[in-house]
Amino acid sequence: MSSVLDVLRERGFVAQTTHDEPLERLLREEKVTCYIGFDPTADSLHVGHLLQIMTLAHMQRAGHRPIALVGGGTAMIGDPSGRTEMRQMMTRETVAHNAACIKAQLSRYLDFSDDKALLVDNGDWLLPLNYVEFLREVGAHFSVNRMLTAEAYKSRMERGLTFIEFNYMLMQAYDFLLLYRKYGCRLEMGGDDQWSNILAGADLIRRVEGVEVYGITSPLITTAAGTKMGKTAAGAVWLDAKRTSPYEFYQYWRNADDADVERFLALYTLLPMDEVRRLGALKDKEINEAKRILAFEVTKLAHGEAEALAAQKAAEAVFGSGGDEAAMPTTVISAEELAGGIGLVDLMVRAGLAPSKKEARRLVEQGGVQVNGVTVTDVATMVDDGDVQGERILLKKGKKTFHRVVVK
């Protein structure tokens, strides 16, 4: 009899596990409460979080109960994992706002009704902690020598590791202990950079409660080009439609490298693996159908079927297959402003096609920008009402990024 661990392994979610056979048996025989932590450092999760979100979705689909932990307490300290600089600390008000936004995004993937999934904030128990009691209950079980061997700390030692960050491992371990005590949580999951923290939590529970709990880490995903998931020249690819439109989100996946398609279908969609392998085996021009399905399926999960269809139609309109252009990313400017002329460089930054004027100029000079299908290489180019075609101006960056400027 297979377990959800077999599903996660087959689809590429598993890097390391603790106590392989007992964990496999537990997931086959019992309904397990599991958790993953999310940093509430912004009011939206991004594509880099999707692997963990999909892990929780698979756990719930297999009958287990996922907990999404928002690190409202630990965010006020900062996780040193994967960082060479100290993270910015946050206020409780900001954390509460971000947590509410994150829950709305997670609700696309998880069913929170009737406690089928839970969203908790570790600030609820970390912030009221009595420091002396915490040191007696938790700190007594940690060896400083052992902690310093953790990769998260080693990478910071040369530049300097603050004492406040040094406490992070203890606090994350305490999260696992509290979730075990309150909800019977017996499985913590996270990225492979969290391995040391997960082991610390499992060891603390074993010492304090005398029970075995488990951990699973997932690989740190990069694209075939070696870039982090969800990172583009213009910034992060967000799950919030106000930060990254459904069209831009769709296009991110539609533009995936051929070598990434099968892996992304397995990780970021719920398509059966037989279908994933069939699509992944397509070659040459046929791989575009697999990319189209990838983009649609991932966008449907993040934004709903209606938005996915609209994004697909907009993409097809741009690439000559008919459809509705209205779902394309759009910037609205007034007729009065356009009559006076707007510098193309300024317009690109305003439309989000470049993060800075310097980058916009570079793109123009290298022939990477078109206005209404015409390549422009003069950085001094002005865009005015004479460029309006059908009540809009169509900007293009590179081969596949389009933006509509609507005049009102």
> What tens digit of pLDDT does each residue of 239-272 get?
999 888 898 899 899 989 999 999 999 999 999 9
> CA angle, 272 as apex, 271 and 275 as ends, to 5°?
85
Among 122, 43, 35, 119, residue whose Cα is nearest residue 75: 122
| pTM score, whole prediction | 0.79
Tokens of 208: 């304090």
Cα angle: 328, vertex 110, 40; to 5 degrees: 75
CB atoms under 10 Å from CB of 254, counted, come to: 22
Q: Does residue 24 surpass a pLDDT of 60? A: yes
CA angle 279, 283, 286 (to 5 degrees): 70
CB burial of residue 367 (10 Å; 0-12, 13-18, 19+): exposed
Q: What are phi and psi of 290, to 5 degrees?
A: -65, -40
pLDDT tens digits, residue range 92-139? 888 889 999 999 999 999 999 999 999 999 999 998 999 899 888 888
Q: What is the rounded CA–CA span in Å between residue 274 and residue 109?
A: 22
Domains of the chain: 4-218 (3.40.50.620), 245-324 (1.10.240.10), 330-407 (3.10.290.10)
- Highest average pLDDT, of 72-81, 82-91, 158-167, 332-341, comes from 332-341
Q: For position 323, what pLDDT does the model report?
A: 44
User: Which of 264, 276, 122, 254 shows the shortest CA–CA distance to 185?
Assistant: 122
